[in-house]
Chain A
Amino acid sequence: MTAEAGRLGRTAPEPARRPDPAAGPGRSLGARLTAAVGGGVVRTVLIVVALFWLVPTVGLLVSSLRAPADMSASGWWTVFGEPSRLTFDSYRNLLDNPDITDSLVNTVLITVPATVLVVVIGSLAGYAFAWMEFPGRDWWFLIVVGLLVVPVQVALIPIAELFGTLGLFGTVFGVVLFHVGFGLPFAVFLLRNFFAEIPRELLEAARLDGAGELRLFARVVMPLAGPAVASLGIFQFLWVWNDMLVALVFTKAGTQPITVALQTQVRQFGNNVDVLAPGAFISMVIPLVVFFAFQRQFVTGVMAGAVK
């Protein structure tokens, strides 16, 4: 995003002297007047919108830092009058609660393998679709692309039964498998398109040096795949980390990730904001760090994978 946004931000010339229309790209007087008059309005509107977008999150953050008694007495915005009343107690209590800490561990145990496996398996298949020859290659690829939009919901009941039969129901491994399965169409699609752009000469040169398929894949293709793997990895990571529905169906007490642990609390909403607010914020921290650190890759991944 930063790249495009930066570029976009600089395209509009500052209204200055009246440009001579014949002298090149300039703006008409009317446009410049509009810009001069409307500029202030536009800025105000955008500031209001930005506040509108920020306030809900700020509300959660402030709420998570207030004592339960304060929370039932007044709105979170009153805290700006007396910031000394903020406290980390809710966080301390939450992190002393083994249910919560265990579920955070489970979130990591589900998310990391589900991300790594999708990248590895997706890369292998993406390479095969891009550079190997076998009958019906393109048809197979199109089928995989077709699976991109299959709603997760379609698989809940069948896979619940299947996992029940296989003894995978309620296990971390089962949830990981499910996420890998539904992450693969996008992974294969993204990586195959990326690999197909690699210059043929590179691969042929390595081939002449006697490299086999596995060596080509590991030594030539994968080292070039950094940007695609980053986009895919970040996208899949956030997808799995943020998932609630799949985990809600396929985990049980003991293997629940943080999202499921928190949703059980939502049923008593009102008297447990001191659990929900810091819990929600803790669950958001990693995604937000990832978001701010890897905006570019994240945007690329979201753009390509939004059809999911």
Chain B
Amino acid sequence: MAPAAAGGVAKTVAPPPAPRTRKSVTGTRRTAAALFLLPALVLLGALVVYPIGYSVVRSLYDRSGDSFAGVDNYRALFTDDGIRTALRNNVVWVVFAPTIATALGLVFAVLTERIRWGTAFKLIVFMPMAISMLAAGIIFRLVYDQDPDKGVANAVWVGVHDTFAESSAFPRAHPGRDSPLRPAGGGAFVTRAAVHSGETVVLPLVGVAPDRMPDSARNAVPPTPEPGKITGTTWQDFTRGKGVGTLAGVDPGELGYAGMRIEAVRDGTVVASAKAAPDGTFTLPAAADGAHLRLPASNFKEPYNGLDWLGPSLVTPAIIGAYIWMWAGFAMVLIAAGLAGIPRDLLEAARVDGADEWQVFRRITVPLLAPVLGVVTVTLMINVLKVFDLVFIIAPGSSQDDADVLALELYRKGFSEDEPGIASAIAVFLLLLVIPVMWFNIRRLRREVRR
């Protein structure tokens, strides 16, 4: 690896050997040194150091900046509803996002180690790091779209849900005028009269939108009587564009309610049941003699519409999901680099001693990677504290208050609510949170730099 890489990785993975004493080779004049440093120090002073001081001072003054306010702005951190929500969400972010991303990164790094196309996999998972949070935000707005016909998250979720739960095909179907059916409570419908074997029954309904009819529905067929059985038809008794046709009569072009469930109920118990054929016909055994026919409510439930990903309760986990999509690759690549540095002999020795792969992973790989895992987690924590774009873009206006985080609240307070004092207090608070890391970086480097 190039020296740059060595230096770069050192930052996060393993410190390089301390450089030899580097005395100037030219016997530098101080003016030359000053000239080399001047641009950087001026810019850093004006754009990074000065703002820190300014924020600290500004945070002690009131909204207008004219009068000293003491710690009032800091008190607002714990009393202002918006900031409190933001704080709470930041805690959720800091606890979950870095740990999940690191855990996934570890799993991916270890699994890809033995796969030939591991590089291609890593490329795919790492790619989101290259794009902007704005683009990622737009990508996930599309993913999380509530409509299962648009958002892929809900499309998959509804698909899974409907595989395991009974789905209904006829939302909003209901009896038309002069129908032989009447509501039976709870969304079910029941025949007004009892049915008898050898007779035919018609169960017409109206109100199913044409595009909601099941694809398997065929033109309805009137029932034909069969001795010892009850036969019937259930169908959409409405011909589009041709008037109402015959009420309670099967007209050409009317579709059968394919798959409708029919129950024969006598004295409150189901004695027989049937499912309608694509043409709407069904047959019940003689056991149903004298019963009323019921169309249970499960036929008419609104279809399951998936989760409200960007609603108040799920919006933060949803955005954390988008963040993990972006940053798991980062964890994976750093951990993979650390993994490459683990002495093979150690793993082999353990395997020879009879350890299985899980034990090797648990007892050797993870402990040896602990420093890398720590660095990755801490790095992500700092990163997460500053998360702004993703929340700003993904959370719709209606749930932005629920998704609020400190960086977003700072932006709102500072630039749309004209509260620079409180915004500065948030800034100082954010800075305080990263100071331990700052100190850690300096301390580690001091050992290297000093002679």
A contacts, CB < 8 Å to B: 1-9, 11-12, 21, 25-28, 30-31, 34-35, 38-39, 42-43, 45-46, 49-50, 53-57, 59-60, 63, 71-77, 121-122, 124-125, 127-134, 138, 140-142, 144-162, 177-178, 180-182, 184-185, 188-190, 193-194, 196-197, 200, 203-204, 207, 212-214, 216-217, 227-228, 230-231, 238, 241-245, 248-249, 259, 262-263, 266-267, 269, 273, 276-277, 279-281, 283-284, 287-288, 290-291, 295-296, 298-307
B2 at the binding interface (Cβ < 8 Å): yes
- In the complex, per-residue mask of B386-399: 1 if CB is within 8 Å of any chain A CB, else 0: 10110011001100
A281–chain B nearest beta-carbon distance, Å: 8
Q: What residue of chain B has the Cβ atom nearest to residue A217's Cβ?
A: B36
Q: Is the CB of A204 within 8 A of B25?
A: yes
Name A8's contact: one of B10, B27, B118, B397 (CB within 8 Å).
Answer: B118
Q: Is the CB of B397 within 8 A of A267?
A: yes
Q: What residue of chain B has the Cβ atom nearest to residue A229's Cβ?
A: B4
Q: Is the CB of B339 within 8 A of A147?
A: no
A9-B410 contact in complex given A55-B152, A159-B51, C-beta closer than 8 Å:
no
A283-B382 contact in complex given A124-B36, A124-B39, A189-B11, C-beta closer than 8 Å:
no
Segment at the A interface, from B131-139, B188-196, B266-274, B299-307: B131-139
| A-B pairs with beta carbons under 8 Å apart, 11 shown | A6-B119, A9-B119, A125-B37, A125-B41, A131-B22, A133-B33, A154-B428, A228-B7, A299-B333, A302-B333, A307-B11
- The docked-state distance in angstroms from the alpha carbon of A203 to that of B26 is 9
Q: Is the CB of A145 within 8 A of B442?
A: yes
A158-B55 contact in complex given A75-B149, A153-B386, C-beta closer than 8 Å:
yes
Q: Is the CB of A306 within 8 A of B411?
A: no
Q: Is the CB of A287 within 8 A of B325?
A: no
A243–chain B nearest beta-carbon distance, Å: 8
Q: What residue of chain A has the Cβ atom nearest to residue B137's Cβ?
A: A266
Q: Which residues of A contact B424 (CB under 8 A)?
A: 157
Q: Which residues of A contact B415 (CB under 8 A)?
A: 156, 160, 249
Q: Is the CB of A46 within 8 A of B115?
A: yes
Q: Is the CB of B441 within 8 A of A307?
A: yes
**Closest CB pairs A-B (n = 10):** A181-B47, A304-B8, A242-B132, A193-B7, A12-B114, A291-B130, A125-B40, A228-B4, A158-B51, A155-B51
- The docked-state distance in angstroms from the alpha carbon of A248 to that of B20 is 45
Q: Is the CB of B133 within 8 A of A242?
A: yes
B108 at the binding interface (Cβ < 8 Å): yes
- The docked-state distance in angstroms from the alpha carbon of A204 to that of B22 is 12
Q: Which residues of B contact A151 (CB under 8 A)?
A: 385-386, 407, 427, 430-431, 434
- The docked-state distance in angstroms from the alpha carbon of A6 to that of B116 is 9
Segment at the A interface, from B78-86, B160-168, B280-288, B348-356: B348-356
Q: Which residues of A contact B345 (CB under 8 A)?
A: 25
Q: Is the CB of B155 within 8 A of A303?
A: no
Q: Is the CB of A142 within 8 A of B26?
A: no
Name A54's contact: one of B25, B117, B124, B137 (CB within 8 Å).
Answer: B124
Q: Is the CB of A77 within 8 A of B152?
A: yes
Q: Is the CB of A31 within 8 A of B351?
A: yes
- The docked-state distance in angstroms from the alpha carbon of A153 to that of B34 is 30
B365–chain A nearest beta-carbon distance, Å: 13
Q: Is the CB of A181 within 8 A of B12?
A: no
Q: Which residues of A contact B9 (CB under 8 A)?
A: 300, 303-304
- In the complex, per-residue mask of B300-334: 1 if CB is within 8 Å of any chain A CB, else 0: 00000000000000000000000001000010011
Q: Which residues of B contact A178 (CB under 8 A)?
A: 47
Q: What residue of chain B has the Cβ atom nearest to residue A135's Cβ?
A: B30
Name B122's contact: one of A5, A42, A244, A276 (CB within 8 Å).
Answer: A5
Segment at the A interface, from B172-180, B246-254, B443-451: B443-451
- In the complex, per-residue mask of B8-33: 1 if CB is within 8 Å of any chain A CB, else 0: 11111100100110111111101011
Q: Is the CB of B132 within 8 A of A283?
A: yes
- The docked-state distance in angstroms from the alpha carbon of A73 to that of B438 is 52
Q: Is the CB of A153 within 8 A of B410?
A: yes
Q: Which residues of B contact A131 (CB under 8 A)?
A: 22, 24-26
Q: Is the CB of A4 within 8 A of B337?
A: yes
- The docked-state distance in angstroms from the alpha carbon of A276 to that of B5 is 37
Q: What residue of chain B has the Cβ atom nearest to residue A188's Cβ?
A: B40
Segment at the A interface, from B140-148, B214-222, B227-235: B140-148
Q: What residue of chain A has the Cβ atom nearest to residue B421's Cβ?
A: A157
User: Could you tell me which residues of chain B, from 363 to 414, have a CB within 8 Å of some CB in chain A?
Assistant: 379, 382-383, 385-386, 388-389, 392-393, 396-397, 407, 410-411, 414
A157-B449 contact in complex given A149-B438, A181-B47, C-beta closer than 8 Å:
no
B209 at the binding interface (Cβ < 8 Å): no
Q: Is the CB of B127 within 8 A of A262?
A: no
